[in-house]
Structure 1
Amino acid sequence: MKAVAIGGGTGLSTLLKGLKREVGETIDELSAIVTVADSGGSTGRLRKIYNIPAPGDIRNCIVALSESEDIMQSLFQYRFRGDGLGGHAFGNLFLTALTDITGSFLEAVKLTSQILRTKGNIIPSTIEDVHLVARFSDGTVVEGEEEITEYGKKGVAKIEEIWIEPESAKAPIEAIAAIEKANIILFGPGSLYTSIIPNLLIKDIRKAVNRSPALKVLIVNAMTQPGETDEFTAYDHMKTFLKFTGLKGIDAVIVNTKMPSGDILKRYLEQGQEPVTPDIAKIAREGVKVFAEDLIGDKDNFVRHDPDRLTDLIVKIVRNEVFSEL
């Protein structure tokens, strides 16, 4: 089976950590199509200097799929301290340097993937220097992934429209080829407006996904995100995803049903985040299959999907929904 995961941020890298164990087993070929519209931190600073796509999410996904030694993974995630290089991740600088040397961001990603021996293909959703732009309900237009989220946190308006500039940005041929071959396409988890949706704002990718007969699955976040999905239920995530991406539809939704422990939940509530309500029946009435299980981990002090639990469920879905059609 050929699987494609589309997204960005920590959500996609968490998913890939689980999926890589199935490469060579359930999965014959794994590809990750990753957003490059990030505008914050080390990534944002490098973009302004070198006019390149954002390397941060790409770096995280390469490390997540890496089969290299732990020291190499730690090296690529290392952040410098002090003035000058302070805050920069080594992996971001490495990708930037390789892009400058080879003249190609895509080639830099391929070479870095070879060095870290990834169990899958990492493909930027575009190799152009794109920026995310949103119009809010109060008429304010905000440019930049980080800036959009920060304006949303003010609570004065909701996102009404979102697009990328330039709107004519093209996807790499490798991304389209991976989608065309896929048996299953996974969206998320991750920041809905700034990590998942931006990939589908690239027309080539949206058209390829709409043409694809693959099983299309949305993985809903476990917690709401301040400034983006405040008070969103699982159904709200699905409807918003379809509305802003322009996709014709999806086949299934994965929803977490496990509540965080008391202390962790309290901390998240104080930060303006709450568990996403699994309104399963409402989704099912739209003709979309729902797979609901306890999917968050117990080990971390954060609420995030457990890579192994999520992968186990995806494998089950594949065997029931994909292999039966092959």
Structure 2
Amino acid sequence: MVGKKRTLKKHDKRVVVVGGGTGSSVILRGLKLFTENITAIVTVADDGGGSGVLREDLGMLPPGDIRSCILALADDEGIMQQLLNYRFEEGMLKGQSFGNLFLAAMNGISGNFMEAVKNASDVMAIKGTVLPISLDQITLRATFQNGETVNGESIIPARAIERKTKIKEVSIDPADAKPLPEAIDAIMDAQAIIIGPGSLYTSIIPNLLVEGMKEALLKTKAKRFYISNIMTQPGETEGYDVWDHVQAIAAHMKCDSQEIFDYIVINRGKELGESLEKYQQGGAARVRFLEERFAGMSYELIKDDFSEIKSQYIRHNAYKVAEAILEKV
């Protein structure tokens, strides 16, 4: 990485990342090496874990994915990041992260959740802006292929596994949830919009169902990228290849995928050894890429070895992905 930084091409491209959770955080860490003009638009449908507890107890929007993106864009990822990522291991706070509590406290002393996010971002001196997709309390609903419907982002994958069925579609309640105006403005002003990687049905698609998002993505003059996941996710995308991911997004947005995306970023990397075996034991597999399924499509395919292994986890190489995308902008 040291050698790469010496040849780093800095620029001021306006980039928007749409998603949430680990996937967005990884990509943001790569992008901030190239530009500080970044906006992360983050899902607020999470209702599990520490975020879910705070959402229920305090009536606030879930802070977990927001926290992850703020930390990813922080100028200094040293002791403050360790502090905000710290999870209590016992007592009434067991399982809760200090970062979530920090955002909850900010929410308490701020005028609203958006102001709390801005204040937290200022404290962390982040390179860019983090925005919740909406200030509405959004509940995610899934309909399975067996006809069953469940509410709540946190239970959807587990219920699919339990019932041995697959997700047919997801929706949000309220269906007319309003986007944060700054999020739409960022999309319209962007030069590049990156959707993914991340949990397809619980992190990516919920953002795209918020009112006005489809229209903004169709009208923007930005180049639009979809980053395919490297691994499938049990309870969400078993058996899915890259094409299936793209088409699921298009189906939920009720338009042709070629209207949404200009580029698809695809990992075509090496075998992943022992780490892959651990994923397979948990029911995950590599997301396959079948070239023939993309025949005649208008978008450009960006194919490379974009994977790396960190602490036994398979992740995108954030530097390589950011570099490959920004070369097209």
Band the TM-score falls in, shorter-chain normalisation:
over 0.9
Q: 2:18 aligns with which of 6, 26, 34?
A: 6
Secondary structure at the aligned position of 1:303 is classed as strand
Partner of 2:275: 264
Secondary structure at the aligned position of 1:68 is classed as coil
Please tell me whether residue 199 in structure 1 is matched to residue 210 in structure 2.
no
Partner of 1:174: 182
AA aligned opposite 1:310: V
C-alpha deviation, 1:211, in angstroms: 1.5
Could you tell me whether the CA contact under 8 Å between 2:232 and 2:287 is conserved in 1?
yes
Out of 166-175 and 221-230, give the one that drifted further: 166-175
Separation in 1, partners of 2:320, 2:42: 22
AA aligned opposite 2:277: K
Could you tell me whether the CA contact under 8 Å between 1:73 and 1:116 is conserved in 2?
no
Out of 201-210 and 86-95, give the one that drifted further: 201-210
Partner of 1:157: 165
Residues 200-246 of structure 1: per-residue CA shift (max 9 Å, x gap): 11012222112212111100000110010101011111111111133
Percent same amino acid among aligned pairs? 39
Q: Which runs of 5+ in 1 are unaligned?
A: 319-326
C-alpha deviation, 1:282, in angstroms: 1.8
Partner of 1:283: 294
Could you tell me whether the CA contact under 8 Å between 1:155 and 1:227 is conserved in 2?
no
Partner of 2:101: 93
Secondary structure at the aligned position of 1:39 is classed as coil
- CA gap of 1:161–1:97, structure 2 versus 1, over 3 A, is same
Q: 2:35 aligns with which of 23, 27, 36?
A: 23
Partner of 2:328: 317
Out of 239-248 and 189-198, give the one that drifted further: 239-248
Equivalent residue pairs, number: 314
C-alpha deviation, 1:158, in angstroms: 2.0
Residues 163-222 of structure 1: per-residue CA shift (max 9 Å, x gap): 111112111111011011011110000000001111011012222112212111100000
Residues 264-294 of structure 1: per-residue CA shift (max 9 Å, x gap): 2211111111111122342242222101100
AA aligned opposite 2:135: I
Secondary structure at the aligned position of 1:255 is classed as strand
Separation in 2, partners of 1:126, 1:276: 30
Q: Give the TM-score normalised by the residue count of structure 2.
A: 0.92
Q: Note the aligned Cα RMSD (angstroms).
A: 1.4
Secondary structure at the aligned position of 1:99 is classed as helix
Separation in 1, partners of 2:292, 2:286: 17
Partner of 2:253: 245
Residues 35-75 of structure 1: per-residue CA shift (max 9 Å, x gap): 01111110011111112211100000000000135111111
AA aligned opposite 2:31: L
AA aligned opposite 2:319: D
Separation in 2, partners of 1:177, 1:249: 17
Separation in 2, partners of 1:313, 1:281: 23
